Structure 1
């Protein structure tokens, strides 16, 4: 893997140094400088959008080329697995376990997207011999803007980019500049190596403070795919809505992990530990509230805290590490503020974490009021809140009592009842006897309420990234009533 151009934007097939200020990409574990990046400006963003607009028509008409490029890009990831996992550790603070999961998600996305490259074209709604031939055509949206976060930088970028390209669209992508490589230029290198035509895929290393709303209000952008915070997603939805642009918005979460009275306690604790602390809790699907029936409450807390204390923390390049660094000092300050506010509010802290450099060890609050600021905040950190429920019904009511609706989980020994409860929980994704962090390329991934709109996954993403057009052909002479 060639790293010499990873600090440059990729516009119309060329590696381009930005025209704006310089940004330092840091290793979140030790704050060492990985690279300095010159950020792209509005003029360069305009060039990327223009290149995408001029290239997608030809790209959409060549399904065999799209298959070839996707297969070649997948091979790039296979051939460079070790280097990619190492880069994820150094740039995003991903532990080996988390990086392996993310890498697997990426390969699965390639495999799934390759199954629908041929979905463009038409399908008959009537028999070809009918007096009126009726068909629907599936056409690409055109230019799709892709905006992704720092936490799963490679996968959360590619889950838009790969299917969008498979379906004949062109893409202008902006990842979080904190993960400029793993969420940006690494992907450009993969597709450039794969032989993608100039302009079809563009990557901008820049910040919204520089380019403003260009990626969702520009007249040549046909669709906006964003993964990130609810506040930003609401802004994007408002701006894009004024221009009647369609969006896919995967936003914040406040995932409940519900332990019902008849749950297997050991299994529930094991799942809760993983779902809370994978990637230091910096995942939108992470367990945010642990809601436990009062009959199991005390024992659950004892076992959960005992397990949390055992988790190894430190350097994410160490394959045994479970808790790695928080992405930035700004995020650390935010988390510490939440912890201090909870302490000031008198919430019981049963396990107080320690800050070791940029690593924050597990913190556990118990006897948390479900309506408290702590419980209603997306923590995005290794901070766990445990809430007592006085009945199964109370637990379910507390689970639904949130403005968010992304991922959730229920533990119970009655699988039939668990599935019935799951179907009625107010979340886009519910997992019975599992934790909340899950992805399946053949399932509808997405949230409701303030957790967003739209669905990823096959075949659901096909409807998001294509336009349907109804065409009729009158094959015989017809008469009209006037």
Structure 2
């Protein structure tokens, strides 16, 4: 097993870089080109990684294409055995995965453990998917005819994954596709190539997955577009799987439409928590804090907008601010870390500018509000209006807004005042009321008396509008996304033709 925590040196030779994983082999990039992967907390070099060229991506696609027929032809139990073995190995290696998430992405210990807890669940769900029913017998208006709707693997899946939950979101992007008989090429984020891709390549290789079934190509920031273009335009790639920003997702979605190629998207969110006047105040504060500040707010499901009933607004805000001020930015190597570093300078500058602009336009900072590079303080804004960018844009950092709702309808209207539609929550003592309100919120996932940040691998994970849509993440949605359906009819008894 590789020591993924062994940090590369500034003068490391290209041959010492973390290599690409293509067709079951660890290989350097063509030309031995590399890029640097930095620890976001210290700025130190975490690893040097192979910077894939077009030739490398082509080789990975060719390997996946060649491996797919034999992989799909394996009996379901044989395919399932690889996923069970990977789950077993992951459990043995979980501590190293946790430590790499902390060092490479600035994850706190609790966040890293939460992310790792989802991995064995997803692997075992994938194993179970190999024997899930994927066909139907349909009635016919024609006597003696049998209609079958049958499904087969789509083929090769190109996967592009993000840095914020790199391990789980990379895995989710391809694991169900593999279970259904597809093969995959993963391009992880340049900010998390190790935890988001290369460690999984080792895990899958050690679990015995055949060569070419799963491939990983890493690139620096400048190479990302090249990989995306390859996945879109190469006819050997049949489906795209993308988790990331709405901006990039829109570009890929448009390109895929022009190429008549399906794409699975999970993008950003502007996720509200509705706190009704009968809510348990302390519980509501805890849920809002967790939803807003888990992993420094760098989660697509983070609670950007806390909508509180007028009757309890002042009491809620006082308690929420008091709790937030207790949590200062901390090195994620400390197990008590809650507010860790921002992933890179670009994102830190964006958050800083967004908060400063809101203040200039009249928003008030109740807590935090300042950068302490590489950190940003846990921030609460009030007096935010719909004209401000911070009302409409995903923050993707440790900041949230708290707004007053004059009525339940007012709260629902503000929750739905967004181009996004990923996650939401309703906090109330009246469970029936909470469920009825949940049905009126325009989001793919609504959690009553829980945080907006919640995922279970077997449940349908999806959003509306600028949050993606067009498919459901999870085993059942994967059947729709990663298999192609055919209608095959058989006329068992000759019938009278009209002429």
Q: Same fold by TM (over 0.5)?
A: yes
Query: Secondary structure of the residue that 1:405 maps to in structure 2?
Result: coil
**Given that residues 367 and 388 in structure 1 are in contact (C-alpha distance below 8 angstroms), is that contact kept between their aligned partners in structure 2?**
no
| Structure 1 segments of 4+ aligned residues over 6 angstroms from their partners | none
Counterparts of 2:81 and 2:345 in 1: how far apart (Å)? 42
Quickly say closer, same or farther: Cα 1:370–1:16, change in 2 above 3 A.
same
Which residue of structure 2 lines up, in the alignment, with residue 113 of structure 1?
126
TM-superposed CA distance for 1:403, in Å, is: 0.5
Counterparts of 2:97 and 2:269 in 1: how far apart (Å)? 28
1:472 aligns with 2:453: no
1:160 aligns with 2:177: no
1:41 aligns with 2:58: no
Which residue of structure 1 lines up, in the alignment, with residue 37 of structure 2?
25
Q: Which of 349-358 and 382-391 deviates more?
A: 349-358
| TM-score, normalised with respect to structure 2 | 0.93
Which residue of structure 2 lines up, in the alignment, with residue 432 of structure 1?
448
Which residue of structure 2 lines up, in the alignment, with residue 196 of structure 1?
209
Aligned 1:145-224 pairs, distance under 5 A: 145-206=158-219, 207-211=223-227, 213-224=229-240
Counterparts of 1:72 and 1:403 in 2: how far apart (Å)? 42
Which of 303, 306, 313 is the matching residue for 1:287?
303
TM-superposed CA distance for 1:122, in Å, is: 4.8
Quickly say closer, same or farther: Cα 1:35–1:108, change in 2 above 3 A.
same
Counterparts of 1:370 and 1:126 in 2: how far apart (Å)? 52
Counterparts of 1:122 and 1:420 in 2: how far apart (Å)? 34
Report the RMSD for the aligned CA atoms in angstroms: 1.8
Aligned 1:400-479 pairs, distance under 5 A: 400-453=416-469, 454-479=471-496
TM-superposed CA distance for 1:126, in Å, is: 6.1
Which residue of structure 2 lines up, in the alignment, with residue 9 of structure 1?
20
**Given that residues 263 and 413 in structure 1 are in contact (C-alpha distance below 8 angstroms), is that contact kept between their aligned partners in structure 2?**
yes
**Given that residues 111 and 295 in structure 2 are in contact (C-alpha distance below 8 angstroms), is that contact kept between their aligned partners in structure 1?**
yes
Aligned length: 480
Counterparts of 2:322 and 2:194 in 1: how far apart (Å)? 37
Residue-by-residue CA offset, 1:21-72 (whole Å, 9 max, x unaligned): 4311111110110111230011111111111111111101102331121112
Counterparts of 1:304 and 1:390 in 2: how far apart (Å)? 19
| TM-score, normalised with respect to structure 1 | 0.96
Counterparts of 2:133 and 2:196 in 1: how far apart (Å)? 28
Counterparts of 1:473 and 1:209 in 2: how far apart (Å)? 46
Which of 78, 99, 105 is the matching residue for 1:86?
99
1:336 aligns with 2:346: no
Counterparts of 1:212 and 1:477 in 2: how far apart (Å)? 50
TM-superposed CA distance for 1:472, in Å, is: 2.0
1:54 aligns with 2:66: yes
Which of 243, 249, 255 is the matching residue for 1:227?
243
**Given that residues 275 and 286 in structure 1 are in contact (C-alpha distance below 8 angstroms), is that contact kept between their aligned partners in structure 2?**
yes
**Given that residues 6 and 186 in structure 1 are in contact (C-alpha distance below 8 angstroms), is that contact kept between their aligned partners in structure 2?**
no
Aligned 1:253-292 pairs, distance under 5 A: 253-292=269-308
Q: Unaligned stretches of 5+ in structure 1?
A: none
Query: Secondary structure of the residue that 1:196 maps to in structure 2?
Result: coil
TM-superposed CA distance for 1:422, in Å, is: 0.5
Counterparts of 2:134 and 2:399 in 1: how far apart (Å)? 49
Query: Secondary structure of the residue that 2:127 maps to in structure 1?
Result: helix
**Given that residues 88 and 182 in structure 1 are in contact (C-alpha distance below 8 angstroms), is that contact kept between their aligned partners in structure 2?**
yes
